[in-house]
Every structure is written in structure tokens, then in C-alpha cells.
Amino acid sequence: MNGIHEPRESFVRALEARVSTEISHRAAASRLPRWVPQSRGRLAFATALLILVSMAAGGAAVSAAYQAQSAEGRDLLVRTYQQRLDLARMRLELASKLSKSLQERAQIGAASMQEMQDAVLRTRQAEWEVQSLQLQLDEVRLTGVEPAMQVSAPLVSGRDFVSQRWQLEMEAQRAALETEQLRLTTEQRRFAAGMSTNADLERVRVQVKELETALSASGRKLDIRRKFLNRTMDAGLADLRVLEVDAEQRVETLTARIDLSRKELEGIKVRVSVGQAHSLDMAEAEVRLQQTEFELSKAQYDLALIKRQIEQRGR
Amino acid sequence: MQDDEIVAIYRATIRPLYAYVSRRVGGDRAMAEDLVQDTWMRALDAWPRRGRPDEPLAWLLRVARNTMISHFRRIRPESVDPQTIDLEAPGPLPDEPDVAATVSWGLARLRRRHAELIEAFYFDGKSVREIATERSMTEKAVEGRLRRARAVLKKKLAKLVRPAGTPARAIKERTIHERHS
């Protein structure tokens, strides 16, 4: 027999150990009656231990997991994602508690509606993080490798993990947009009452605009994914189209930021002329504007390159 | 079912199972190990519920094959130009993961009777005579079926060919025979 079709001894031993462990785990699970309640204390202790171990293993485990290709690597990768999921669940629990406490304080007037909205948003974002990590763990369990993020990733056992993750991302963006729109309304009221400046209002407007752009980009990427899965767009073109969407989003975001930076600079110039601000503040604002302009030029160059590649494919 | 019975089956079947999978992925060790592990995890799920099969190795090979078909239906190999694969070769395919992935992609889209014949010939290296004996057929009938199966496979693989003028990232110009020699 050709040697390359012989399994490695280390693999044979590792899989045998895994088979034996699985057998004992399954046997133990079948012996435990389902109605027996889990001990909360032991569960909490196990969770705390798991987190401590995960923190201790830290970067080493993660970086090793990235290299995991073999069967042994799969186990390591699954464990790493399981630990991340456990940590995300803890963050969710904490965010829920904070949100509840803020709601109680808001009811007695000790916290503002905006603070409460922010806390609710943070809780929802923590929920999406848990859901997203659960999806990644499911994918790692099925494939044994890092979750595929690119638009041209194939389905895994009939499941479209890429679209599911993007849909979750869209939900998070939608919720963030709703919160920012509420903040904008509040800021407009404050501005009308002379309680905030035009610059504050502009900053929130830019934030809303950025979230709208991100949401629209996510929708377009989902559409490209659908076309790829329906085979109306090939993998190479789908990847390029997603890069194009990302680059366009970046150009739009940076353009809005430049407008904001210019307005801020003008405001600082006025304040410097009447002695309300230092010339150093003006220099800082100018540098910020130039940096953003440079980033925009780079993003425009990237976009032009991607568009040229798309055109070349079409020829 | 006793635990040590499963371990004994594992020890008796791991090598032929691995070899079966490895030949079909052109010796791609990482993929072969993943597929073998996946197959065994399925066995551990199924056997306690449905009972151990009479022929565990045959069961494992069948599950491994189905897992591979499912895998190759999901992917689209691009690193080898299928036109350069010489399916008229008189012997088994060389152990090259890219070539195996391309051929397996096509096989995953064939009818089972065609696919099994081609697998026996190209991956398991069985002669026409051996296949005929195993299947209680005449050699001539096996040759005829192989010819038809090859024709269908070529048609399937033609769908992988890039349109003219498209940049070929890693198309290998040499035929399989050239590579072999």
C-alpha cells in the first residue's frame, strides 16, 4: 500500500482516545436521569473555572486554533470558541443586570431616557454577540476549521452561516440606528432650546448617516451572497462585489466625516479669533482633517482599483 | 453494546477506512483525518441507538462516502483545469489532492452506479477483471459501463472549465500522465 494512505500513528491514537472518551461521556449522560436538577453551585464553579482556564490559556490557545487543520486542531478550535461563547454569555448577563438597574433608576428620574436606551442597546448587542458566537461554534463543529467569512464560502451541511451572521449584524445595526435616531431627536430639541451646539448636532447626524450607510451595505452584501448561492454570480465576481460595497461604504463614511471636520475647524477658527480657543486646538483640527482627507483618497483609490478589476472580468 | 467492542472495531477498521478516504482525496492528510473523525463521530451517534451493523467496515465506508459526496457537492475546485485530467489513463489517478478534488467534484454529481465503478478503477486501483469478479459481470460489460461513466464524468467536469480568456490562477498545463512520468 502507498504510504501516504496510511494514517499517522498520532492520529490513530488521538482518535481512539476521542472515541473512548465519547463512549464514556455518552454512557454517563444516559445514566443520569433527565429530571435531576443541575446543582447551581457546581455549575457556577465550573463556569468560573472555565473562564479562568480560558483566560490563562489566552492568546496561545487562540493563535494555535488559527493554525488548526488537523483532527486534533478541531478539538482545540471548538474549545476556544466554546470559551468565547461562555464569556459572551457572561457579558450578556452583566449587560442585562445593568440595563434592568438603569430602567429602575429611570423610573424614579435618576437616569435619563437616553441612558436607558443606550443600556438596552448594549444588552441587545450582547445578545447578538452570543448568537453570532453560537453560529461560529456550530460551523467550527461541522467543518473543523475557522468559520468562513467570505461571500463565496460554500454552504456547510446545507446551512448558510455567512448569511445568518450578516443578518445578525444587520439586526444589530438596525437597533443602533434606532438608538442614534432617538439621540438625534433629543439633540435637535436641546439645540432648539439653546442647550447644545450645532457641532454636537452635526456629530450625531454623521453617526446616523454612518449607520444608515452600514445597514445599506450589509443589505447589498446579503443580496450578492444570494446571487452567488443561486449561481447567478461566480465566486470571484461575488468577492469583488463585496469588496466594492465595503470600499463604497468607506468612501461615504469618510466624506461625511470630512464635512464634519471642516465645520468643526471653522467653529474653532471663530473661537480662536475671539480668544475662546487656543491656536493649538486649531492646528489639531487641521491635522485631523488632513488625516481624514488622506484616508478618503486611499479609499477612493482602492475603490477605483476594485471597479477596474470588475470591468476586466466583464470583458 | 460493550465499550471495548467499539474500540476493537475501531482498531480493526481505522486503517482500511483511512486508506479508502485518503485515496479519494488524493492523500490530503488534513481532509482525510477530518473525514475519518467525522465518520466515527456519526458511528458513535448511530450505533448505540440502532445497534451495531453486521458489517461495521462496510457501514463506515458507506457513511464516509456519503460525507465526501456531501462535501464535494458544496465546494467548487478551481486549482486544476479538468481538461488536463486524462480519464483515459489505463491505471489509477496519481495521488494529488487537487486532481482528486476535481474528479470527486464530478463524481459527486454522477449516479451511484457510475460513480462507484469509476472510484473502484481510478481511486482503488482495481483492474477491470477484479471489478468484473466483484460485481459478477463480464469484463466486457465492465469496460462498457466504465466508458459510459467516463463520458458522463467528462460532461460534468466540462462545467468546471473556465471561459476562454479568463485568467487562470493555477491551471496546470501538464496532463496527469506527464505529471506521473
pLDDT tens column, A1-12: 457 889 988 889
| C-alpha Rg value of chain B to the nearest Å | 18
Q: Which long-range contacts (CB under 8 A, 24 or more apart) does A270-275 make?
A: none
3-state DSSP assignment of residue A192: helix
Q: Which has the higher per-residue pLDDT, B5 or A219? A: A219
Whether B19 sits inside 8 A of A154 (CB atoms) is no
ipTM tops 0.85: no
Which residues from chain A sit within 8 angstroms of residue B29, using beta carbons? 4, 8, 70
For residues A83-95, give the mean pLDDT.
89
Q: For residue B139, which of B151, B155, B128 has the smallest C-alpha distance? A: B128
Q: How far apart are CA A95 and CA A2, in angstroms?
A: 58
Angle at B52 between CA B51 and CA B55, to 5 degrees: 140
Asked if B124 has any chain A CB less than 8 Å from its own CB, the reply is no
Residues A78 and A141: beta-carbon distance below 8 Å: yes
Whether B33 sits inside 8 A of A70 (CB atoms) is yes
Q: For residue B160, which of B93, B69, B57, B85 has the smallest C-alpha distance? A: B85
User: Which of A268-282, B65-79, B132-146, B153-167 has the lowest average pLDDT?
Assistant: B153-167
Percentage above 90 pLDDT, chain A: 27
Q: How far apart are CA A39 and CA A45, in angstroms?
A: 10
Asked if A70 has any chain B CB less than 8 Å from its own CB, the reply is yes
Q: How far apart are CA B17 and CA B168, in angstroms?
A: 35
Q: Which three cell numbers stand for residue A245?
A: 460595497
- Sign of the torsion formed by the C-alpha atoms of B154, B160, B162 and B167: negative
Whether A154 sits inside 8 A of B14 (CB atoms) is no
For position B1, what pLDDT does the model report?
A: 56
Residue of B21, B29, B47, B79 to mutate, interface with A, max A Cβ within 10 Å: B29
Q: How far apart are CA B35 and CA B30, in angstroms?
A: 9
Whether A6 sits inside 8 A of B15 (CB atoms) is yes
For residues B78-102, give the mean pLDDT.
75
Q: How far apart are CA A175 and CA A125, in angstroms?
A: 9
3-state DSSP assignment of residue A77: helix
3-state DSSP of A181-233:
HHHHHHHHHHHHCCCCCHHHHHHHHHHHHHHHHHHHHHHHHHHHHHHHHCCCC
Q: How far apart are CA A191 and CA A205, in angstroms?
A: 13
Beta pairing partners, A159: A156
pLDDT tier, B176 (very low <50, low <70, confident <90, very high otherwise): very low
Which residues from chain A sit within 8 angstroms of residue B14, using beta carbons? 7, 12, 15-16
Q: Which has the higher per-residue pLDDT, A3 or A30? A: A3
Q: How far apart are CA A18 and CA B41, in angstroms?
A: 9
* DSSP code of residue A146: P
Give residue for cell 481538461. Answer: B83
A-B contacts at Cβ under 8 angstroms: 82
Name the residue among A24, A30, A154 with its Cβ closest to that of B75. A154
Residues A105 and A119: beta-carbon distance below 8 Å: no
Residues A242 and A228: beta-carbon distance below 8 Å: no
The tens digit of pLDDT for each residue in B46-87 reads 888 788 888 999 999 999 999 888 888 877 776 677 777 777
For position B112, what pLDDT does the model report?
A: 86
pLDDT tier, A241 (very low <50, low <70, confident <90, very high otherwise): very high
- From the DSSP assignment, how many helices (H) and strands (E) are in chain B? 8, 0
The tens digit of pLDDT for each residue in A124-145 reads 889 999 999 999 999 888 888 8
Residues B110 and B118: beta-carbon distance below 8 Å: yes
The tens digit of pLDDT for each residue in A242-295 reads 999 999 999 999 999 999 899 888 888 988 888 888 888 889 889 989 999 999
Whether B76 sits inside 8 A of A1 (CB atoms) is no
Asked if B94 has any chain A CB less than 8 Å from its own CB, the reply is no
Q: For residue A174, which of A120, A117, A212 has the smallest C-alpha distance? A: A212
Residues A67 and A74: beta-carbon distance below 8 Å: no
| C-alpha Rg value of chain A to the nearest Å | 26
Residues A132 and A101: beta-carbon distance below 8 Å: no
pLDDT tier, B12 (very low <50, low <70, confident <90, very high otherwise): very high
- For residue A15, give how far its alpha carbon lies from the nearest alpha carbon of chain B (Å): 7
Cβ burial of B9 (10 Å; 0-12, 13-18, 19+) is buried
Asked if A16 has any chain B CB less than 8 Å from its own CB, the reply is yes
Q: Which has the higher per-residue pLDDT, A227 or A26? A: A227
> 0.95 exceeded by the pTM?
no
Name the residue among A8, A19, A70 with its Cβ closest to that of B6. A19
CA of A5: which chain B residue's CA is closest? Answer: B19
Backbone angles phi, psi at A159, to 5 degrees: -100, 140
Q: Is the pLDDT of residue A37 over 50?
A: no
For position A30, what pLDDT does the model report?
A: 55
Beta pairing partners, A156: A159
Asked if B6 has any chain A CB less than 8 Å from its own CB, the reply is yes
3-state DSSP assignment of residue B26: coil
